[in-house]
Chains A and B, each alone.
Chain A
């Protein structure tokens, strides 16, 4: 059990973690999510006593890490896979750690086999690939057979086989009754691995709930509907019928429609009454990624902007920013892009855009709204006078077609 109470960490006048309180319970895999720079690593470092909190406490099984008797046997952590002296072999590195915590050297060979580094155990770790380094780091965490485990981005650099292995390992460790805290950026991976989520943004707690609840709370499911193409009046008829019942019909890229605000059987009934045949009526379940994006949009520190390529090459006419550049559409309503011009079939739009600039839909209650132009600090703002969210690494190019976030303001 890991417990944080009012955990705060400041570096000078920059606050990395602010008033963070949560519990990580044994028996389940807890996912630790947040955008880059949101304080995940800082929190984990404080948990294992590397950083001293500015205020508040974080305890493992009731004791601060530095006061735990033989801490290495109680907590295993993968914080930085490359935290290895390159001149030492994998086995020697693990042996150092094993001796530190009083683990017999036979255990070293055991964990080497567990993580699949048997063949390179005597090679100097300098030549290890990212994935091999990751495995070595995981071996180090497992060494003391600890009841509490922390993994910071464990799947970084692993191949698909390795990712699957990690996923099963986490689940197995949790099923043995251990406390497992895993941070990651890979939402699809988290959706498969984690049972519980702790989401932070800008160092503050955004959510602490089960994966299922998280998705339900932070995204809106909808129905996909398709009507026969040879009957041009049908969409209008359906729209009217649905609108009367309080639903909304929005066109999609591929000619289909999305219906929000109504349950599937109701849509079917209304269509039937309006004499509209449906070729498709399917539920759309929001993914963890969508829910996560929805929640953290206002809390992203580092955003990409459109690469204008400084006129290095003439942009072909009629292809405004294809490829990885986000489109200039402005999503309406609850943040789902609608209307023509949206490039992605399926209309999720998120995978293509990644961390690209988007207007930030107001999340009531989270306190992470769009930083208002004119410098009104968002509510609950721990940084006095600062203007967070102003894309510190995205220098606006004068005269460049500015991103849609500007356009939306």
Chain B
């Protein structure tokens, strides 16, 4: 409908006209690709014993994603909290009183941009790393590799989307950052390593997301689900965050 396209256009203008948010996407790209290539270069020269197992050339190329995802989280937080911290939300909702339409348009515009950057990043880090890996390299035509590369882009997009939902619930950029960043940077990692919490931690969004990137050998991961299940788990997290955000947006005064 005409109304939605107008709002979409506006949201696209919004997301593309603020430099700081665009920088987070640039950062996501460079962090992921540079760390991926650096790790590949480092691990290539090590023996299997030193690495602790045979090299998974695809998975290694995604090493930078644990950092790059944080930039994507920052992107998600900024595009939503920017409305609240600046007061722009009042102008926006003044123009679009239908809050569902407003939220949907923002999600679509921002997700489109995140998906584009995520896919480009995933493809770039894969091919960049394979260049460095030399004879250990994988080919995009190998079994499961293409799927892993696509999932890499999806993973980054879903992380941004998840943080958008969370930020819609929290509204404050400070609050959103201080919950999401330590969680994905530290807490989730610790929970995934500690034996007692491991079984539960594997269902956290980032842990599940990383599983999506595995090509075939899932024994390393010790997961109760495969890549397909991982995608479903991530989608469930994203859906939960967005529904929570929508309920908050609908119910609270702007």
Contacts and interface: CB of A to CB of B under 8 A. Distances in A.
Interface of A: 45, 48-52, 65-68, 70-72, 75, 77, 79-80, 82-89, 92, 95-102, 140
A45 B254 CA distance: 9
Nearest to A64: B97
Contacts of B88: 83-85
A77 B19 CA distance: 27
Given A88-B18, A97-B91, A66 B98 contact: yes
Contacts of A71: 94-97
B2 A96 contact: no
13 contacts: A45-B90, A45-B254, A80-B87, A83-B89, A83-B90, A87-B19, A87-B20, A87-B21, A95-B13, A96-B14, A97-B10, A100-B96, A102-B2
Interface string B1-29: 01100110110011001111100000000
A396 B2 CA distance: 59
Interface of B: 2-3, 6-7, 9-10, 13-14, 17-21, 82-83, 86-98, 253-254
A89 B17 contact: yes
A221 B88 CA distance: 46
Contact of B18 (A51, A66, A85): A85
Contacts of A98: 10
A85 B93 contact: no
Contacts of B6: 99-102
B19 A92 contact: no
A48 B94 contact: yes
Contact of B94 (A77, A82, A102): A77
A52 B253 contact: yes
B3 A88 contact: no
Contacts of A88: 14, 17-18
A102 B89 CA distance: 18
B252 to A, nearest CB: 9
B157 to A, nearest CB: 23
Contacts of A102: 2-3, 6
Contacts of A77: 94
A50 B93 contact: yes
A68 B97 CA distance: 9
A45 B18 contact: no
A65 B18 contact: no
B87 A83 contact: yes
Nearest to A71: B97
A370 B45 CA distance: 86
A238 B117 CA distance: 90
B35 to A, nearest CB: 28
Nearest to A98: B10
A87 B18 contact: yes
A83 B18 contact: no
A72 B96 contact: yes
A9 to B, nearest CB: 9
A51 B252 CA distance: 8
A179 B92 CA distance: 22
B98 to A, nearest CB: 7
A17 B68 CA distance: 48
The residue in B13, B83, B92 that gathers the most chain A C-beta atoms within 10 A of its C-beta is: B13
Contacts of A66: 97-98
A82 to B, nearest CB: 6
Given A71-B97, A85-B82, A100 B92 contact: yes
B136 to A, nearest CB: 44
Give 10 nearest A-B pairs by CB, closest first. A83-B87, A99-B10, A72-B95, A100-B95, A66-B97, A87-B18, A51-B253, A92-B17, A100-B10, A50-B254
